Structure 1
Amino acid sequence: MWHGERRHARLVEVYDAEFPWGWEDDFFMAVLAERSTHRVLDLGCGTGRLAIAMARDGRRVTGVDTDPAALDAARGKPGGDRVEWVEGTAAQLGEAEFDAAFMTGHVVHRIGDDAWPGLLRSLRRALVPGGRLVFDSRDPVGGAADDGRKSIVLDNGSTVDAWSAEGEREGGTVLCTRHYRFPDGSEITNTSTLRLRTETEIRESLVEAGFRVEQIYGGWGREPVGLGDGELIVIAGTIG
């Protein structure tokens, strides 16, 4: 479920430094607080920043990811012992286990069309009747992203340079290569094929899987689609 480049053990520390707590995390925590939600799934949890925060108020949180290095980092963080960490996928989830499920950090881009319907069905099965599914995706109508060029300062004070190169889009897919250059001159790159779904595609696939779309926002300030941050932030509920 995670970004391919993060499977490299050297990049776990880089990821946490590159993506500290942000307004998207505040948004997800606010959505979580809108209802009494005790059992929470964070699918594609990565190094566990959001899952640990969700567990601080006594919720039973399960973080699921396919990357053992990321999960090891999550377990070692303060508060990591409050979360159940599972190496695996949505296919392993049981029935009616959770009140809410989250997929954050644009993790849905890594899920191809062959796997997307099955993933949604697995999440529908894992949620209780009336449960909520929340996730974020880039709006493909918003145009190409910038190169994300930045200098990332690690805890030891060293700096890693990072940038992206996005290839031409074909249908709903785009080839994206992420580069990381370390102070010793070494470089790690990863190329991923991303699937960017339109608002219509997302709505139709959710309904087909047994969800009711409650809201889709275009930005973290809950702006309408097309008027926010180039996002499609989805809140859907199970039917029944």
Structure 2
Amino acid sequence: MVRGGSLMADEIFENPRLAEIYDPFDPDRSDLDAYESMVTEFGANTVLDIGCGTGTFACRLASRGIEVIGLDPAEASLNVAKTKKWSDRVRWIQGSAQDLPPLKVDLVTMTANVAQVFLNDEEWKEILLAIRDVLRPGGRLVFETRKPKSQAWLKWNRENTYKRIDIPNCGVVEGWVDVTDVQDSLVSFRWTYVFESDGSIITSDSTLRFRSLKEITESLMDVGLSVEDVREAPDRPGQEYVFIARRPTA
């Protein structure tokens, strides 16, 4: 997961013990189905997945013969990604979008919460400019962001998120999330994991920016990307925007 325009990553992605349990704690990736469908819809042959994390989406595309670049600042997450089937067909890059080598792709994706980790307007503009530069003329950017009015964070507490999972080669792990602060459009929260094998408790703090439909639309237009469509996320109807932006052909 990208943290702003830098190489920083939250502990949940950078700590090797947490990266190892990331997938078992979030096994349902039906949210990726819509993205995979759009790869087909738009006829994309080359895809850059920004904030690829443990590589689930990138490997799914690689299995279909799509040329995929998986970008993430977190070495621990990329190490997990590289153990997966089809990972040898993905070009993995550790870093930020601003550090990408010269390339042109048909589609750029930011799945899950990736688009919301860019907290200030300057960081957000920097990532959009970097994306515009790697898109071929007519290429598209697809990303999702939670609707502020849905206030998803109201359910980010131990009561609603607690899990206790027995993970192979790791043992039993407990995990949950709690909101730690809400300031205007910024929501901060803390993941807590308890490893029963040795009693270790590891926490990871994150902050997301909840931008309005107007804010995002204007920010895309400001960098020369046209908003082609705004859809609902099939896995969270009424809770998220799915933006499809396009680089003009001329």
Distance 2:118 2:54 in 1: 19
Alignment counterpart, residue 171 of structure 2, candidates 151, 158, 170: 158
The alpha-carbon deviation at position 89 of structure 1 amounts to: 0.8
* 1:109-188 to 2 correspondences below 5 Å: 109-113=116-120, 114-145=122-153, 146=155, 147=157, 148-156=161-169, 158-183=171-196, 184-188=198-202
The alpha-carbon deviation at position 86 of structure 1 amounts to: 0.5
Which blocks of at least 5 consecutive residues in structure 1 are unaligned?
Answer: none
1:210 and 2:224 matched: yes
Q: What is the CA deviation profile of residues 85-125 of structure 1, one whole-angstrom value per residue up to 9, with x for unaligned ones?
A: 01111112355610000111211222121311010000001
Contact 1:105 1:136 in 2 (8 A): yes
Contact 1:61 1:83 in 2 (8 A): yes
TM-score, normalising length: structure 1: 0.91
Q: What is the CA deviation profile of residues 124-150 of structure 1, one whole-angstrom value per residue up to 9, with x for unaligned ones?
A: 010011111111122111024312222
Alignment counterpart, residue 220 of structure 1, candidates 234, 238, 248: 234
1:42 and 2:49 matched: yes
Contact 1:216 1:235 in 2 (8 A): yes
Q: SS at 1:23's partner residue?
A: coil
* 1:72-87 to 2 correspondences below 5 Å: 72-87=79-94
Q: SS at 1:52's partner residue?
A: helix
Cα 1:186–1:84, aligned 2, differ >3 Å: closer, same or farther?
same
The alpha-carbon deviation at position 185 of structure 1 amounts to: 2.5
Q: SS at 2:52's partner residue?
A: coil
* Counterpart for residue 60 of structure 1: 67
The alpha-carbon deviation at position 208 of structure 1 amounts to: 0.8
1:194 and 2:201 matched: no
Alignment counterpart, residue 24 of structure 2, candidates 4, 9, 17: 17
* Counterpart for residue 5 of structure 2: none
Q: CA RMSD in A?
A: 1.8
The alpha-carbon deviation at position 171 of structure 1 amounts to: 1.7
Distance 1:47 1:141 in 2: 30
Which deviates the most, 192-201 or 154-163?
Answer: 154-163
Distance 2:51 2:123 in 1: 15
Identical aligned pairs, as a percentage? 34
> For this pair of structures, how many residues does the alignment match?
235
Distance 2:71 2:103 in 1: 16
Distance 1:204 1:41 in 2: 23
* Counterpart for residue 98 of structure 2: 91
- Deviation above 6 Å: which 4+ runs of structure 1? none
The residue type equivalent to 2:111 in the other structure is T
Which blocks of at least 5 consecutive residues in structure 2 are unaligned?
Answer: 3-8
* Counterpart for residue 38 of structure 2: 31
